[in-house]
Amino acid sequence: MSQRSEPVQSQPTTLFTRRNLVLLLAGLVAIGAGYGVLAGGSASLAAVLLVLGYVVIFPLALLL
Protein backbone atom coordinates (compact mmCIF):
# COMPACT_ATOMS: atom_id res chain seq x y z
CA MET A 1 0.00 0.00 0.00
CA SER A 2 1.65 3.23 -1.10
CA GLN A 3 1.00 6.53 0.54
CA ARG A 4 0.36 9.54 -1.57
CA SER A 5 2.23 12.57 -0.55
CA GLU A 6 0.32 15.78 -0.84
CA PRO A 7 1.74 18.28 -3.30
CA VAL A 8 3.75 21.03 -1.70
CA GLN A 9 1.87 24.30 -1.94
CA SER A 10 4.10 27.20 -2.72
CA GLN A 11 3.36 30.80 -1.99
CA PRO A 12 1.77 32.58 -4.93
CA THR A 13 4.30 34.77 -6.66
CA THR A 14 3.55 38.07 -8.27
CA LEU A 15 4.91 39.14 -11.59
CA PHE A 16 5.91 42.62 -10.40
CA THR A 17 7.79 43.71 -7.32
CA ARG A 18 7.01 46.72 -5.18
CA ARG A 19 9.57 48.79 -7.13
CA ASN A 20 7.83 47.92 -10.42
CA LEU A 21 4.46 48.94 -9.07
CA VAL A 22 5.79 52.24 -7.69
CA LEU A 23 7.40 53.06 -11.04
CA LEU A 24 4.22 52.08 -12.87
CA LEU A 25 2.20 54.35 -10.63
CA ALA A 26 4.71 57.19 -11.12
CA GLY A 27 4.46 56.73 -14.88
CA LEU A 28 0.69 56.84 -14.78
CA VAL A 29 0.81 59.97 -12.63
CA ALA A 30 3.22 61.63 -15.09
CA ILE A 31 1.00 60.70 -18.02
CA GLY A 32 -2.13 61.93 -16.25
CA ALA A 33 -0.40 65.15 -15.25
CA GLY A 34 0.79 65.60 -18.82
CA TYR A 35 -2.72 65.34 -20.20
CA GLY A 36 -3.99 67.63 -17.45
CA VAL A 37 -1.37 70.26 -18.26
CA LEU A 38 -2.14 69.84 -21.96
CA ALA A 39 -5.80 70.58 -21.30
CA GLY A 40 -4.67 73.67 -19.36
CA GLY A 41 -2.77 75.01 -22.35
CA SER A 42 0.95 74.52 -21.66
CA ALA A 43 1.98 72.29 -24.53
CA SER A 44 5.72 72.39 -23.76
CA LEU A 45 5.40 71.13 -20.19
CA ALA A 46 2.78 68.62 -21.28
CA ALA A 47 5.10 67.20 -23.93
CA VAL A 48 7.90 66.78 -21.39
CA LEU A 49 5.61 65.01 -18.91
CA LEU A 50 4.09 62.74 -21.54
CA VAL A 51 7.46 61.73 -22.99
CA LEU A 52 8.82 61.16 -19.50
CA GLY A 53 5.82 58.97 -18.64
CA TYR A 54 5.56 57.00 -21.87
CA VAL A 55 9.20 56.70 -22.90
CA VAL A 56 11.16 56.64 -19.63
CA ILE A 57 9.17 55.71 -16.53
CA PHE A 58 6.63 53.24 -17.95
CA PRO A 59 9.25 51.08 -19.75
CA LEU A 60 11.46 51.14 -16.64
CA ALA A 61 8.53 49.80 -14.63
CA LEU A 62 8.26 46.87 -17.01
CA LEU A 63 11.99 46.16 -17.27
CA LEU A 64 13.18 46.44 -13.67
Every domain of the chain and the residues it spans = 18-63
Q: How far apart are CA 23 and CA 59, in angstroms?
A: 9
pLDDT of residue 29: 96
Is the model's pLDDT at 42 over the cut of 80? yes
Q: How far apart are CA 61 and CA 20, in angstroms?
A: 5
Query: Taking CA 31 as the corner, what is the angle to CA 56 and CA 51, rounded to the nearest 5 degrees?
Result: 40
Sign of CA dihedral 26, 27, 30, 31: negative
Is the model's pLDDT at 36 over the cut of 80? yes
**What mean pLDDT do residues 22-44 have?**
95
pLDDT of residue 1: 57
pTM above 0.85, yes or no: no
Confidence bin at 2 (pLDDT 50/70/90): low
pLDDT of residue 28: 95
